[in-house]
Chain A
Amino acid sequence: MTGNFTEISENPFVVKMDEVRELSYDSFHDKIKEMLDGGSVHCVAYYGIEDSKGIRLICSVADDIRHNICTLSTLVPKEPGIVKSLTTACPPLHIYEREINENFGIVFDDHPWLKPVRYPHDRKNKLAVMDNYPFYGIESEELHEVGVGPVHAGVIEPGHFRFICNGEKVLHLEIQLGYQHRGVEKLLAESSNSLKRAVICENIAGDSAVAHSIAHAQLIESLGGIETMPDLWIERCIGLELERIAVHIGDTAALCGDVAYQLGQVVCEALRTEIINTTQFWCGNRFGKGLVRPGGTNYSLSKETADKIITVTDIVGKRFAEITDRIYSLPSVLARFEDIGQVTSEQALTIGAVGMAARTCGISRDIRNSHPFQYYRQYDVSPVVLDSGDVLARGMLRVREVEQSVRIIRDLTDRWFKEKKYGRKPVYDYKLKPGSFSLSMVEGWRGEICHSAVTDENGSIVHYKVKDPSFHNWMALALAVRNQEISDFPVCNKSFNLSYCGHDL
């Protein structure tokens, strides 16, 4: 297998662009098809970069068992720009091919449906607009369609859901996104101000501010050859686990709210407040914005903060265990969660689900374990895996992961006390390696976040790619509600809690 691609076992990593093997499209196609054969391998990045010769496609495939990442590339000339699709052989690539088609106009010949992904402002076909999205339709007098959004009943982000129903039963759900598109990737590539890039990254998705910031910081550190120290690695991991705890508890509150179990809702809301206020105590922002910067941090952990984090997470962990024990033993709650919104393991593999959507379908996919970053290199995390794939599994996964994260925080804080404190400050004045390709992955609470950048011969970033786990997982929600009552949509939706802005960027 060697010789055809660049194989690396680091996360993040950086390679010279000319070391990334360039294959003819046919060999590229066959190689990826061969690599993606098997459940423990998945594609983490596949995107195009435009240059004078055509569109260069770069694809990175991660192997969960061999713990490596293989990268290969190909060049597709702009004319005629038609190549054969990989989607039929490797369905998880459907969304990447749609994205490449939308951005550059490359046609993947036998792709089942090259629908728009997010209507970016720099899309190839300007005639495609939000209003003429090609919805799937079924002609029948028996069926009706229900449209929801983009503005939803709750205080949440916009997206349009189109259900095709037979009576109360959902036959098909199509999710149209793109309303949140802010041009993040273009701003990141165009910006020469390094602080600006870091701040944009923490605003990609507010509920994953820490995760996206770590992904960006370690990408820059690897591209810039900036050395970081163990005390910082631990602090970043603590920040990431606090974020995971806060969101999981908040989502449990939302799930309770949807099934009218008010005690569960208010108790979890209050517990989430305790956690995010602790993050604020640490860095002045309830979402951890400002905590993570390339090279170091302005908010090194102090003994006082470390003690507070341990105390709060310990109490919150216990009280969350107490309330969830009650929530998940109530027949009225279980009746709404059990066997509802099921995604099978086969479906999850087919669509390339990542993170908690995958782990609730029996797939052990966790970057902290398979491609460890920051302090997880020295600290083993065994993924929590459940296999029923229903709303209950996604609820219970949150319970188990909060329990695990509380334990991780306690262990990591213990180690932090023993580590030498370098307390390094952020580095904004850096020079990036020229002509390089770099990729960085982080397991946020939703799943794997992947940032990738390409630099030119002067070391300026010419292309920056961000992939949020929602990019894959929205399809899981669409599949989950099939053959369900339409009234179960809210609990299905909340159980995933996917990101609109992370998808639309």
Chain B
Amino acid sequence: MLKEIKILKHHGKQYVKNLRNQPVSGLFRGRPEISDNLTGHEIENLFSLCPSGAIGSSDGSIDMGKCVFCRECSFLLPDKIKFTSDFRIAVNRREDLVIKPGVSSPVRIDESGIRKEIRKIYRKSLKLRQVSAGGDNSCEMELNATGNVNFDFGRYGVEFVASPRHADGIVITGPVTENMAKALQLTYEAVPEPKIIILAGTDAISGGMFSNSEAVSRKFIEEHHIDLFVPGNPAHPLTFINGVMDLLGIR
């Protein structure tokens, strides 16, 4: 008993008090900012450098839904592209993930696009079923971390549950492999209506590095309405938490 008290004392208080404004290390690669004076030649170079095809060939914009946050573009043009430590980058409209040159304002959820029932029903309790469909386990670990002693997302009633029948929606990670497509469909069907779909991580949003693979099938994603896009490689727990809080209207 005494030993455990000592351990508890050393453990101290670990929980993140304010999930909205928790500082992350300065090198964290969050929302990019792109200078609006990129030359045509520079855009060409960026386009051919980007490993995941996230850079727009016409204007040099960065699509966070495709970006793997490797930061190589910023190493190429350090004066013109930087990745800020802003982790609040989850949105409900796919096109809002595209960061245009010259834009330095934060990305925010589109309130008008949120389905009415979401805030009405899930505001105080949202139970989610996670489906990994080709995820590399880093996104899965970060989603697990949202419920751990540090982030404790359970404080807002948001938790991962064991069965889709107990869930209000699914969180998909990974590019959706052909071999997992059927299981994903079955899991989704097992969730009672109304239900939501969240995509966590770049792989899930666009296929990421695997978007051109023949082993990947994007059919499910294309056929369903997605309620929240959470970018990152992997999506940081705070990105996921803030995205869901925005979706549910938790301040």
Binding site for B on A (CB under 8 A): 119-122, 130-131, 150-151, 153-158, 178-184, 186-187, 193, 195-196, 198-200, 203-207, 209, 250, 263, 266-267, 269-270, 273, 277, 280-287, 289-290, 298-299, 319, 322-323, 325-326, 499-501, 504
Residues of A within 8 Å of B178, CB to CB, are 121, 181
Residues of A within 8 Å of B51, CB to CB, are 193, 195-196, 198-199
A270-B149, A284-B29 given; A183·B213 CB < 8 A: yes
Residues of A within 8 Å of B109, CB to CB, are none
Lowest 3 A-B CB distances belong to which pairs?
A206-B138, A183-B215, A153-B162
The answer to whether B71 and A298 have CB atoms under 8 Å apart is yes
Nearest CB to that of A160 among chain B residues? B183
The answer to whether A273 and B148 have CB atoms under 8 Å apart is yes
How many Å lie between the Cα of A322 and that of B183 in the bound state?
43
The verdict on B156 contacting chain A, using a C-beta distance below 8 Å, is no
Nearest Cβ distance between residue A281 and chain B, in whole angstroms? 4
Residues of B within 8 Å of A178, CB to CB, are 179
The answer to whether B209 and A157 have CB atoms under 8 Å apart is no
Most chain B beta-carbon neighbours within 10 Å: one of A131, A179, A500: A179
Residues of A within 8 Å of B209, CB to CB, are 187, 196, 199-200, 203
Residues of A within 8 Å of B29, CB to CB, are 284-285, 290
Residues of A within 8 Å of B212, CB to CB, are 187
Question: Which of the residues B8, B52, B133 comes within 8 Å of A158, measured between beta carbons?
Answer: B133
Question: For window 199-213 of chain B, which residues contact chain A by CB distance below 8 Å?
Answer: 203, 208-210, 212-213
List 29 A–B pairs whose Cβ atoms lie within 8 Å, in order of A's numbering.
A130-B182, A150-B183, A153-B163, A154-B162, A155-B140, A155-B143, A156-B140, A158-B180, A182-B210, A182-B213, A183-B214, A195-B49, A199-B51, A203-B208, A203-B209, A206-B135, A206-B137, A206-B139, A207-B141, A209-B136, A250-B141, A263-B7, A266-B14, A266-B149, A270-B14, A284-B25, A284-B27, A289-B70, A501-B135
The verdict on B153 contacting chain A, using a C-beta distance below 8 Å, is no
Given contacts A158-B183, A205-B136, 14 further A-B contacts (CB under 8 A): A156-B137, A157-B140, A158-B131, A180-B135, A186-B215, A187-B209, A196-B51, A263-B4, A266-B149, A280-B24, A290-B29, A290-B69, A319-B7, A504-B177
Residues of A within 8 Å of B72, CB to CB, are 195, 298
Residues of A within 8 Å of B216, CB to CB, are 182-183
The answer to whether A181 and B11 have CB atoms under 8 Å apart is no
Question: Which of the residues A203, A270, A281 comes within 8 Å of B150, measured between beta carbons?
Answer: A270
Question: Which of the residues B8, B27, B52 comes within 8 Å of A281, measured between beta carbons?
Answer: B27
Residues of A within 8 Å of B220, CB to CB, are none
Nearest Cβ distance between residue B26 and chain A, in whole angstroms? 9
The answer to whether B8 and A284 have CB atoms under 8 Å apart is no
Residues of A within 8 Å of B130, CB to CB, are 155
Nearest CB to that of A187 among chain B residues? B213
Residues of A within 8 Å of B214, CB to CB, are 121-122, 183, 186
The answer to whether A157 and B137 have CB atoms under 8 Å apart is yes
A121-B178, A195-B49, A195-B70 given; A269·B139 CB < 8 A: no
How many Å lie between the Cα of A322 and that of B3 in the bound state?
9
A196-B209, A207-B137 given; A182·B70 CB < 8 A: no
The answer to whether A156 and B132 have CB atoms under 8 Å apart is yes
Nearest CB to that of A122 among chain B residues? B214
Nearest CB to that of B3 among chain A residues? A326
Nearest Cβ distance between residue B150 and chain A, in whole angstroms? 5
Residues of B within 8 Å of A284, CB to CB, are 25, 27-29, 71, 83
The answer to whether A180 and B134 have CB atoms under 8 Å apart is yes
The answer to whether B136 and A206 have CB atoms under 8 Å apart is yes
Residues of B within 8 Å of A198, CB to CB, are 51
How many Å lie between the Cα of A203 and that of B210 in the bound state?
10
Nearest Cβ distance between residue A307 and chain B, in whole angstroms? 15
The verdict on B225 contacting chain A, using a C-beta distance below 8 Å, is no
Most chain A beta-carbon neighbours within 10 Å: one of B29, B178, B234: B178
A267-B7, A323-B7 given; A207·B138 CB < 8 A: yes
Nearest CB to that of A282 among chain B residues? B27
How many Å lie between the Cα of A205 and that of B136 in the bound state?
5
The verdict on B187 contacting chain A, using a C-beta distance below 8 Å, is yes
Residues of A within 8 Å of B14, CB to CB, are 266, 270, 273
Nearest CB to that of B137 among chain A residues? A206
The answer to whether A319 and B234 have CB atoms under 8 Å apart is no
The answer to whether A298 and B75 have CB atoms under 8 Å apart is yes
How many Å lie between the Cα of A250 and that of B149 in the bound state?
12
The verdict on B229 contacting chain A, using a C-beta distance below 8 Å, is no
Most chain B beta-carbon neighbours within 10 Å: one of A119, A158, A199, A499: A158
A153-B163, A289-B233 given; A199·B210 CB < 8 A: no
Residues of B within 8 Å of A269, CB to CB, are 145, 148-150
A121-B215, A280-B28, A284-B25 given; A179·B137 CB < 8 A: no
The answer to whether B25 and A281 have CB atoms under 8 Å apart is yes
How many Å lie between the Cα of A323 and that of B9 in the bound state?
12
Nearest CB to that of A280 among chain B residues? B25
How many Å lie between the Cα of A280 and that of B26 in the bound state?
9
Nearest Cβ distance between residue B30 and chain A, in whole angstroms? 9
